Every structure is written in structure tokens, then in C-alpha cells.
Structure 1
Amino acid sequence: MKKLLTIICFIGFNAVFFAQNNAAIKSFRYDDNFTYLKNDTSKNWYTQMKFIPLNASKENYISAGGEVRYQYFYYKNERWGDIPNDKDGYILTRFLLHIDIHASKSFRAFFQLQSSNANGRINPNLIENNPLDYHQAFFDINISNKNESKLIFRGGRQEMSYGSQRLVSVRELPNSRLSFDGLKLIFNTTNLNTDLFYSHPVVNSIGIFDNHFNKDSKFWGSYTVLNSVPFLNNIDFYYLGLWKRNSIFDDGAGKETRHSLGTRVWKNSGNWHYDFEGVYQFGNLENQTIRGWTISSNTTYQFKKNKYVPTVGLKSEYISGDKNYEDERIETFNPLYPRGAYFGIVGLIGPSNLIDIHPSINLEFSSKLNFALDYDIFWRASINDGIYNPNQRLIYSGKNSFKKFIGTQLSNEIIYQTSNQFAFKCGATWFNSGSFIKDSGAGKDIFFGSTTIQYKF
């Protein structure tokens, strides 16, 4: 505990010392750009670390950085009372350290280490406990780097995230972020961004430097974003392909080849924000035909002239499930690689065979302090399919209940964020079990509490 308090104090001190809103710190650290420090003459150790010139012109440089995150989690009746509780809760830690080398205008290399540990956790999984491994190690070759367009080839171990992160995410909220071994072609112009990629998701292991290439899963596709589109504002088009040696659903298992075609229309400026998305999936699971789909809407309105600047939102989704057991079709939607905590601050249920209605409100008490409250209502889309967790593992089969109602989830979170570098979050979730949960297991209500402190440098 003394060690933990020492580290937290160190984080807090640095957060205050470097309290400027450092816009160069990004969610994906390979997007950081500290070239504005090229003419910086200070002897500050932090700025010197962020921009280390390699030649007299300072066109070539090295930048280093990282992240420290501590989380305390407490569950009462985890998985609705079907597994043992950690009576005193547990602590998750994540450490990231990277170095970004720009050797020339045409070549760049990025390396990142990740250490994720679960302390006091009963039977931690590989997403929670992965002591030390290289998380990213890729190179970029700028094939064309004109003012109006860029064409970049990227190869190696890398993070990927697209759109609303409903299908492809780095898995930020869980302890270990997700990366892929793959090749990518990136084309950017003023109002058009397109990625083409082929990859294998990295397999986490329990040792040190033993994460390995995944021979049992392939992931490929293309993602295009059009900005400044008349009337629609922004629109995405994408195709995503998945092959897995062994997939398990409530109504079938085996080798899976799945294709996803989707589009997204969105706007994130002004008072009104919206995000509408639709996906259709087809392919095969052994001898069964895959037919799945989802539609979602997420709209918010911000009252910018009112006290506390309230933002009210409503999200709803229909995510297909299997209609009939033991037929020749699988209609269960596969969310591929979604956000770990898809609904709120805790990942209890994944986006398969689901209908949900999700109102929310956010209040800004100051420029640094926010309060968020949301309420989610869940039903099964089909009574002939179970419910799944975010990584597509079956939680409860649908064969033991004809009830559709899964339950309700009430969550709140207080967020104190001084800059892009430092954030403190404290939240709680109450899941009130519905008739399907009570038919399928112990059926107890879940309470979840969390505290997170995170510092990026």
C-alpha cells in the first residue's frame, strides 16, 4: 500500500507541475506530434524527452513517453453471483512506455512496451494480467507525403481503432490494450481517409515477452471516412473480414468465416451530436450459414448556455441473435473486437443478441470536473440465443429460459481531468437482474465500484 501511495503522489505532483493542456498527447500515442518543440530553448527534462533532435536541421528526431494507470475495482455478486467474490476488491495497474523514431521524412519506427497486472484478483484473465511484453513495434514508410495527401505503408505490431469503436477498438477500459500483427496502407486527403489492412490479433500470455502471433485468427478489411459531406456531415463505409479456427456460439461451434459490411453517419460539432450505424454480416460457421445484423443510434444535445452545460443523450440498439436452434443458420451478431466496457463503465454484457435503450445526462461543474449518469435497459433480441460477454464468450445459454428481459443498469461517474495528461475517475454501477438472468443462474444483483487514476507523459 505504501508503494501505491508513493506512486499516486508522484503522479499527482507531475500532473500539477505539467498542468498545461497538452494537446499533443493523443489516445493513440503514435499520433502524438511534438514538433512544435523544435525551437524550444528550455532545459526542462520533460520537453527534452519529448523532442530529441537527430540532426542539425531537427527534421529527424526521437520522442519518448508513456502512461501510468491505477484502478481499484470492487464487485459484489460478480457475474450475478455465479463466481467467487474478491471480498476486498482488487487493483489493476497498467504501464505503457514508448519511443517514436523519425529517422527521415520517409521512414519512422514506433516501439511500445506494456505491463498489465492484477493484484488481489481471484483467477485474473489474460486481459487483466499480462506482466510485460512489447505491445507495438511497427515502421512507417511514407510513399507520398504531399501537402494535400499522404500515402503511408505500415507494417508490424500495431493498435487499430475505427469509427465509434463498436467493431474495432484498442480496448482502452480493460487493463491490457489490444494490438494486431499486420500490414496497413493508409491514404489521407483533406476530406477522405482510407485504410486497407490485413492482420492477426495478438495472443496474450501470462509470462514476460511471450505474447505471440495468432495462427488461429485473421482479420482484414478496409475503412473509409468522408468528411464535410453535404447534409450528412460525415459518413463512413467499411468492409471487415474475420476468420477464426474455432468460434463458439449458443447454437454452433467451429471454423468461422464472417464478412461485415457497414456504414456510419455522424456529427460531433455544434449542440446536436449524432451517430447512426448499420452493419450486415454474412459467411459460414462450419456447415451453417451466417446472417447477422445490427442498427444503432446515438444522439445527444448540449445546452451550452445553461448552468453546468447539461448534455442529454439517448442511445438505442438492435443486435441480432439466433432465431432457431439446430437449423442451418447462425444469426448471432459477432461484434469482432469491440470496446471492453461496451455499455457504461463496466463490461458485464457484450453486443450480441441484444436490444437496449440507454438514456444519459452529463453535467460540467467546471472545465475540469464532470458528472455522468446513465441508465440502460436490456432485452434479448431472440429467445433462442443466449447472452455473451464483450469478447463473444457465451455467459448464459438461451435454452434454459423463454424470458427476454435481461435487466437494468444504472451507472454514474465523476471525472476530474486537469489536462490530456492527468485524469481521476470514480464511478459505480448497479445491475438489477431481470427474469432471464434469474432463470439462468444465481440471479443476484451486481454492484460495481471503481476508482481510476491515470497519468500520460
Structure 2
Amino acid sequence: MPCRSRSAFVLVLSGLLGVSQAARAEDLPEPREAPRYAAIRYLEDWTDPLRRTGEDPFDRVKYVPLGEGAYLSFGGQHRLRYELTRGLDGPLAESVLFSRNLLHVDAHVGPLRAFVQVGSHLALGAPARDAPPGSDLFDVQQAFVEWRAAARKARFVARVGRQELSLGSTRWVSTRDGTNVRQAFDLARLTVSGEGWNVEGFGGVVPQLQRGVLDDAPAWRSRFWGLYATVEVLPRKLLSMDVFYLGRDRPSVTYGDVEGRELRHMLGVRVFGETPGGFEYIGHALAQAGTVDDAEVLAWGLAGGLWQRLPFAPLRVGVRGDALSGDRHAGDGRVSTFHAWFPNQTFFSALPLIYPSNLYEVHPMAQWNLDPVALEAGCVFFFRQSVHDAVYTPPGDVLVPASESQARYTGAQLSLSLGYRVTRHFMFNAEYSHVFAGPALRSATGRDVDFFGTWTTFTY
């Protein structure tokens, strides 16, 4: 088919889990070696002198020795992002310029560590975006203490404080890098890892973002916890598996005619791997249960993807897909809407129009890696899983009420993106998306949606 649109903070750690980090676009097994500048900055390790060539002036602040087993590391990132969106909120296009500035210091003394990152996030041009997560004048992005130890066959890392968290392929829990203010959590975490396996447990709360200065306090009634385990089943990346449990307690939510406190649990399995011939695969199976006020929660989700790296060109082609449940019967005392909690909002494209709830989607795509240039083209076809439930938009709000349309086809989103790594510090990105509004989406927007975004990032 041709493309037609595109109770408090205290929680007892009861287990252990493995976290695997991934970049924005790929729902793939992660590389074994972290990049020079990691997407989550506390994952960087500058103790290896081979990583500090001395030819780069910023290397001087990446490792500042203080004595035996003690050193400091400094870094930062500055991103300028422009977005132009036409077709969502009336006849005038929304034009907004975002500025994100992050600075961090990382202090190590023997097995102990303290990491602090502060940020200033500004939004100019669109009053509706001049609030979190669009803007936050100045606040603590991350601040935690860490302790490390090693036994004969295992390594232990305990971490307490505000920190970013990215699980698996970032499909359900991510850093939300596409938005101006990244997602962070106030957590206690314990990680145990060994040869071919990781296990981690965490528990804590979600900070309440405010626009002002140093006012992002922990939201004690918004709790989040989980267990996540990763094991390499077959060697050489042929087959790996994640098994996880995530829990969320929110003080007030609304699903159709159901409103109240939500306690939701999610069980999931993720299998992924790649063959020597360049074939890659991934699959998720998820189940959610719990309560919203007096209503029972029972939801499900399936997701996956297949890719092939071509041997005769730096080209990767594939298809991704999701099936996420929606609510079928209003007033039946049951909530069947799948909720993703903290998904990678740029998973479909840089325009986060559709939220992964009540959804069927299929996403053919192609990627060219012509290092230092990367190109990607794809088209996502969206359908409602249940026509009796809404179409949702980030962070889980209703975009098209269930009563507005009985159409299953929502629309299709065509996206073209460019990434150019100018130097090891400087990155340029641009993306264009056109949403061909289907019957369900047209009842809300009245027309197609166009999006253009460009952002430059300087990291050190």
C-alpha cells in the first residue's frame, strides 16, 4: 500500500535487574563498548589513558587526578533545536526555538562516586511550550552518590539520588531526549552484573517538574519501581533475553469515564539478536494489570522488528510494528488501555504526535550510514486497536476522543531525517515529517500535519 500519511520515597529493593542502553532510533541490541560521549553521561569512563589522546583540549578536563584513586571529570552539552509544526492547533504554524544547556562534574574517590548535572532549558516562540518539558529555567538534572564493589564473578553498583534511566531498547522507559527537558528519576538502585548477564532492582519517585529555579522536587505520590534482568542466551549476539517487572503508582489519572488513583504493574519479555549475515530481530510481549480507583486494569502489548544489513552497501532495511491494547467497553469497570509510562517519544519520528496506547502500527524504514552522514526514511501507518477508545498523544493525553470518530485508521506519518557528525563534539540533525491525516485524526486536526525540525548539539 502506498504511503498515505505518516509509602514515600522509601522502597525496599527486592531484587536485581540489568539495564541496557540504546540510542534513539534503533530498537536493537546495544554495542558492547560505550561511545566516547555517552547518551547518558555518567556511563562514560575516562580512566583509560588511551581515551585521552591529548590532541583535544577538552581531554584535559575529562580526567583530573587528585591523588591515589581519586579524580574529577567535567563535561557538558549544549543543544539548539528549532521546530516548525503546521496543522495541529489552528491556522497558524507553531514555531519554537529550544535551548538546552547541561553541565556536569563527576567525582571519584576509590569505590565511591558523586555525580552532579545541572541544566537550563529555554523555549522561545510558543507560549504553550514555555513550561516543562519544554522549558525549565535552572534545576538539578541529576545528582547521586554511587558505591562499587567486585566479587570473584560479579560486580556490584549501588546508586542513590536523581538519575537518568534507560531500559532495554528505550521503548517503555527512556531518557526522553527528543524533548527539551530529559526524563530523570529519584531512585535507589542496585545492579549486579557478570559475564553475559545483568540484574538490577530500583525504586523511587518521579520528580515534579516546575518552570522556575531549583524547584523540581520529588513527587512523593508518583512512585516508580522495577526489576530488570538481561541474559545472553547464545554467544556472539545470536540471542539475548530481557525479563522485567515494572510498577507505577500515580495519584490521579483519567481513562474515558474512569478517574482516580492508578496502581499498574507490567510484566514483559524481550528477545533480541543478530546473525553473522546481518539479520537482526527483536520482539516484546507485555501484560499490564492493576487498578484505577475501583476499576480493574487488564491490558496487553506486542512489539517487534526485523532488519537486514545489506552486504553490498551501507544500507539497513527493516520493519517495526506494535499492537497495544485499547479499552473496548465504557462503563464495564475495566480499563484495557495500554500505557507506556516513559517511552522514547521520538521512536516513530522527531514529531511525537501519536502515543503508544490503543494502537496498531507498522513502520517500514531504511537507514543509510555513510559515516559521518546518516540518513533515514520511513513511514508509520497508525490504526486504533479499539475504535471505542481514544487516539492518544504524549504524555498520554487524549488527542481524538473516542466519541469523535469510529474510524480505525488514524493516519500515516512519513519521515525523512539527516544526521551529520561534523566533529567528535559537534552534531547536526534535521528531520521533515508529513502526517497524512486519516479519518480518525482528521476529526481532531481537520487536515494533514507538517513538521520540520533541526538541531545542533555540542558535547564535551
TM-score by length of 2: 0.88
- For residues 373 and 360 of structure 1, the distance between their equivalents in structure 2, rounded to whole angstroms, comes to 6
Is 1:295 aligned to 2:302, yes or no?
Answer: yes
- For residues 60 and 274 of structure 1, the distance between their equivalents in structure 2, rounded to whole angstroms, comes to 42
- Determine the structure 2 residue equivalent to 1:339: 344
- For residues 82 and 405 of structure 1, the distance between their equivalents in structure 2, rounded to whole angstroms, comes to 22
Is 1:85 aligned to 2:93, yes or no?
Answer: yes
Give runs of aligned pairs for residues 44-443 of structure 1, distance below 5 A.
Answer: 45-55=57-67, 57=68, 59-78=69-88, 81-82=89-90, 85-86=93-94, 89-104=95-110, 106-124=111-129, 125-142=131-148, 144-146=149-151, 148-229=153-234, 233-267=239-273, 270=276, 271-306=278-313, 309-364=314-369, 366-418=370-422, 421-438=425-442, 440-443=443-446
Query: Quick check: 1:110–1:139 contact (8 Å CA) kept in 2?
Result: yes
- Aligned letter for 2:297? I
Query: Quick check: 1:82–1:441 contact (8 Å CA) kept in 2?
Result: no
Name stretches of at least 5 consecutive residues in structure 2 with no aligned partner: 1-32
Q: Could you say which structure has the greater relative contact order, defined with CA pairs below 8 angstroms and 6 or more residues apart?
A: 2
- Determine the structure 1 residue equivalent to 2:13: none
- For residues 91 and 215 of structure 2, the distance between their equivalents in structure 1, rounded to whole angstroms, comes to 29
Is 1:452 aligned to 2:447, yes or no?
Answer: no
Name stretches of at least 5 consecutive residues in structure 1 with no aligned partner: 1-20
Query: Quick check: 1:251–1:330 contact (8 Å CA) kept in 2?
Result: no
Q: Percent identity?
A: 27
Give the drift of 1:419. Answer: 5.3
Per-residue CA shift, 1:274-298, capped at 9, x if unaligned?
Answer: 1100110001111110000100111
Query: Quick check: 2:238–2:275 contact (8 Å CA) kept in 1?
Result: no
- For residues 37 and 154 of structure 2, the distance between their equivalents in structure 1, rounded to whole angstroms, comes to 23
Give the drift of 1:437. Answer: 1.7
Per-residue CA shift, 1:36-69, capped at 9, x if unaligned?
Answer: 23896959642220100010x4x21110001011
Q: Secondary structure of the residue that 1:30 maps to in structure 2?
A: helix
- Aligned letter for 1:151? F
- For residues 227 and 412 of structure 2, the distance between their equivalents in structure 1, rounded to whole angstroms, comes to 36
Residues 251 and 320 of structure 1: is their aligned pair in 2 closer, same or farther, counting only changes over 3 Å? farther
Aligned CA RMSD, in angstroms, stands at 2.0
Give the drift of 1:447. Answer: 0.4
Query: Quick check: 1:267–1:274 contact (8 Å CA) kept in 2?
Result: yes
- For residues 249 and 138 of structure 2, the distance between their equivalents in structure 1, rounded to whole angstroms, comes to 28
Give the drift of 1:153. Answer: 1.2
Residues 384 and 186 of structure 1: is their aligned pair in 2 closer, same or farther, counting only changes over 3 Å? same
Q: Secondary structure of the residue that 1:383 maps to in structure 2?
A: coil
- For residues 222 and 30 of structure 1, the distance between their equivalents in structure 2, rounded to whole angstroms, comes to 21
- Aligned letter for 1:280? A
Query: Quick check: 1:140–1:154 contact (8 Å CA) kept in 2?
Result: yes
- For residues 235 and 275 of structure 1, the distance between their equivalents in structure 2, rounded to whole angstroms, comes to 10
- Aligned letter for 2:65? P
Give the drift of 1:341. Answer: 2.1
- Determine the structure 2 residue equivalent to 1:9: none
Q: Secondary structure of the residue that 1:211 maps to in structure 2?
A: coil
Give the drift of 1:269. Answer: 6.4
Q: Secondary structure of the residue that 2:382 maps to in structure 1?
A: strand
- Aligned letter for 1:275? I
Q: Secondary structure of the residue that 1:123 maps to in structure 2?
A: helix
Give the drift of 1:164. Answer: 1.1
Number of matched pairs: 425
- Aligned letter for 1:183? A
Give the drift of 1:371. Answer: 1.4
Query: Quick check: 1:22–1:421 contact (8 Å CA) kept in 2?
Result: no
Give the drift of 1:116. Answer: 1.1
Query: Quick check: 1:295–1:319 contact (8 Å CA) kept in 2?
Result: yes
